[in-house]
């Protein structure tokens, strides 16, 4: 069973995606805090990280930068899940090494699951 880590401060969205992932057959870890999320990545080595950008204690940008700089975890796929929809944000995320960039308002939970599965099946 593949383990997915959701780092998202919106509890409703986090719970919604978590329940959908569990029903799809994934093990799910989650946190609403950036620093805690980075700690969990290092300890749990999830198959994929679903990462919000605007988080307490450490931004998603900082987390992504630390993931990609660390050879022990830099192969873990990261999907950014945010409401930052500007072209510059999208380009920044992909340039920093994110595998995909999902704007929350533009995707349903099923579409998010599809993107996760596409990313994990590469």
- Say yes or no to pLDDT of 56 above 80: yes
Identify the pLDDT of residue 45.
97
The CB density around residue 79, as the number of other CB atoms within 10 Å, is 22
Q: What is the mean pLDDT of the chain?
A: 94
3-state SS class at 19:
helix
Q: Could you read off the pLDDT of 7-48 as tens digits, one per residue?
A: 999 999 999 999 999 999 999 999 999 999 999 999 999 999
CATH placement of domain 3-120: 3.40.50.2300
Taking the alpha carbons of 69, 32, 42, 120 in that order, is the dihedral positive or negative?
negative
Identify the pLDDT of residue 105.
86
- Say yes or no to pLDDT of 69 above 80: yes
- Which phi-psi region, left, alpha or beta, contains residue 62 (left: φ > 0; alpha: ψ -120 to 50)? alpha
* Residue carrying structure tokens 């450490």: 58
Phi, psi of 114 (to 5 degrees): -60, -40
Give the residue, 118 or 122, on which the prediction is more confident. 118
């Amino acid at each position: 069973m593949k383990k997915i880590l959701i780092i998202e401060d919106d509890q409703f969205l986090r719970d919604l995606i978590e329940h959908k992932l569990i029903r799809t057959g994934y093990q799910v870890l989650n946190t609403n805090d950036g620093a805690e999320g980075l700690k969990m990545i290092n300890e749990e080595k999830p198959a994929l990280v679903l990462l919000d950008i605007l988080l307490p204690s450490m931004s998603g940008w900082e987390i992504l930068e630390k993931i990609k700089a660390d050879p022990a975890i830099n192969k873990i796929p990261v999907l950014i899940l945010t409401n930052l929809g500007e072209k510059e944000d999208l380009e920044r995320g992909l340039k920093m090494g994110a595998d995909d960039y999902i704007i929350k308002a533009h995707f349903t939970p099923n579409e998010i699951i599809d993107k996760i599965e596409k990313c994990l099946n590469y």
